[in-house]
Structure 1
Amino acid sequence: MQFHGSEVRQRALDLIASGATNAEVSRRLAVPPGTVSYWLHMDRSKRGECPGAHQTRCPRCTGRELDEAAYSYLLGLYLGDGHIVQYSQHRVPSLMITCGDVWPGLMDACHAAMEAVFPDNSVCRVRKIGCHNVKVYSKHLWCMFPQHGPGKKHERRIELEPWQQQIVDAHPWEFIRGLVHSDGCRITNWTVRLVGGERKRYEYPRYFFTNKSDDIRQLYCDTLDKVGVEWKVTRRGSDPYNISVARKASVALMDTHIGPKY
């Protein structure tokens, strides 16, 4: 994980004060655009210039209490199936998490997590073919999800800010659950073995997590290590996109805290 010192932060603020855009500062200093946005929000908040802070009560700008368990789960969902967009006709960006209609309980859990993390904002569901986009608008999405940036997640660096890592460390199972609910599954594998000359079929449960981003897979694996779950990398073709949990004790642990999608 990369930490940015106070000198880099001040340099970013000085560049913005001189007229540089957040995107330009991000490129020049090699700092994620969400981090630049967060630094600017915090600087404005300290001077009492953060617009609408008293209305939105952003945890990062105003110090409002945050439901950290819900945030850890929502962060996992965002890293898997979420994205932040701002269309030209809208003044405020939106966070969208795509949830399949075959798992209505998962959709409800996503909706509840958004409401807990953004209690001042309305959460809605937009119907699509076979799924719904669970959606919330907020001016402070970049504060809460500094991983936002141009391009696909697997084509750019994804790392947690120190404050996010502290939340994940305190609520690891919620983070794992969000990642599994977005890009994971629990399946039943089977194999055939010869026992006493007879072919017998054996079935066993297994968890898979599939994501093209090396960084997101590493976050998943690091968190599995912290809760004592054994895992291994399996390949989809020539690409190591899959993380498998198949050992009996680890599957039982995952079943206790995660379970199949519902």
Structure 2
Amino acid sequence: MNFHGTDVRQKALTLLRGGARNADVARSLNVPLGTVSYWKHLDRAKRGECPGRHDPKCPRCDGRDLDEPAYAYLLGLYLGDGHISHYSEHRVPNLMITCTESWPGLMDDCEQAMRAVFPDNSVCRVRKTGCRNVKVYSKHLHCLFPQHGPGKKHERCIVLEPWQQGIVDAHPWEFIRGLIHSDGCRITNWTTRMVAGERKRYEYPRYLFANKSDDIRRLFTEALDEVGVEWTTLARGSDPFNISVARKASVALMDAHVGPKY
């Protein structure tokens, strides 16, 4: 990646303000056209020359209404497969949820939740090998996702703010669904039993949720307790990273409110 100093940028802005075309400025200064266009946009916005443009309101800063069920679902997705990125100090940060191509319905639900929570912001999908990153750009991501921080989630403390906990308490199934859609699955297990002297195969459904963060697993199991779902911890070796829901009544509840990925 090429970085251009402030002197080159200032030369470009002087030419642009004088009426030069973006392409001509890019060619004369050997700067990518997209960079010149971005500089021009920032300069015009700084001087109030972008009619019709405004900063989208924030539920936390400005009191805008928040779609709480959509937020609870998106919060679950973020805690599992999401992170907030900054490409440079001038760029608007973005929330990115990585979704595998195998579940297009999940991508649709993710994008729909993003648009509901951030109705005035840009949402897009970026194709990667075997997956797509669903992204939303907003200056207020840190307001709505204060759990963001340096390093991996399982290496730092993850605690919900009181206002977030209130939303999760009011919409626990949406939160559970987001967590399952990120780091969980519905599978069919099997075992064998002796019936009338004959060993027969027996199959049963199970929900699994796996996450290295003790805090995120705790948030998941607390939500399960809230809705009356029984769960157990499955350890692989000495690592208790897996939460299992296998009892028939609890699986039926999960099927009614969550269901398998699609």
The one of the two structures with greater contact order (alpha-carbon pairs below 8 A, sep at least 6) is 1
Instruction: Specify the SS of the correspondent of 1:219.
Output: helix
**1 CA distance for matches of 2:195 and 2:171?**
44
> For 1:106-185, what aligned pairs fall within 5 Å after superposition?
106-185=106-185
Partner of 1:58: 58
Please name the residue that 1:26 is paired with: none
* Equivalent AA in structure 2 for residue 98 of structure 1: T
What residue is the counterpart of 1:199 in the other structure? 199
Q: Deviations over 1:5-35 (max 9, x none)?
A: xxxxxxxxxxxxxxxxxxxxxxxxxxxxxxx
Alignment partner of 2:60: what SS?
A: helix
Within-5 A mapping of 1:1-262: 55-88=55-88, 90-262=90-262
Q: Secondary structure at the match of 2:105?
A: helix
Letter in 2 for 1:78: Y
Determine the C-alpha separation between the residues in 2 that align with 1:62 and 1:251.
41
- How far apart are the structure 1 equivalents of 2:199 and 2:161? 53
Query: SS in structure 2 opposite 1:165?
Result: helix
TM-score, normalised by the number of residues in structure 1: 0.79
SS at match of 1:166: helix
* Paired amino acid for 2:100: G
| Aligned Cα root-mean-square deviation (Å) | 0.9
Which deviates more from structure 2 when the two are superposed, residues 235-244 or residues 177-186? 235-244
Q: Deviations over 1:87-133 (max 9, x none)?
A: 12752111000001000000000000000000010100000011000
Q: What secondary structure does 2:61 align onto? A: helix
Superposed CA offset, 1:37-59 (max 9, x none) = xxxxxxxxxxxxxxxxx631100
**Shift in Å at residue 237 of structure 1?**
2.4
Provide closer, same or farther for how the CA distance between residues 199 and 165 of structure 1 changes in structure 2, counting only shifts above 3 A: same
- The amino acid across from 2:137 in the alignment is Y
Where does structure 2 lack aligned partners over 5 or more consecutive residues? Answer: 1-53
State how far apart, in whole Å, the 1-side matches of 2:237 and 2:128 are: 30
Q: Deviations over 1:160-190 (max 9, x none)?
A: 0000000000100000000000000000000
Q: Secondary structure at the match of 1:159?
A: coil
Separation (CA, whole Å) in 1 of partners of 2:224 and 2:151: 27
One-letter amino acid of the counterpart of residue 176, structure 1: I
CA offsets 1:206-234 (integer angstroms, 9 cap, x no match): 00000000000000000000000000100
Q: Which amino acid aligns with 1:57?
A: K
Q: Distance in 1 between matches of 2:234 and 2:170?
A: 28
Distance in 2 between residues matched to 1:142 and 1:250, nearest whole Å: 35
Where 1:188 maps in the other structure, the secondary structure is strand
Q: Distance in 2 between matches of 1:62 and 1:55?
A: 11
Which is higher, the Rg of structure 1 or of structure 2? 2
Q: For residues 168 and 159 of structure 1, what CA distance do their matches in structure 2 show?
A: 12
State the identity %: 79
C-alpha deviation, 1:196, in angstroms: 1.3
Query: Which amino acid is 2:217 matched to?
Result: R
DSSP-derived class of the 1:146 partner: coil
The whole-number CA distance in structure 2 between the counterparts of 1:207 and 1:235 is 15
Work out the CA distance in 1 between the residues paired with 2:257 and 2:79.
20
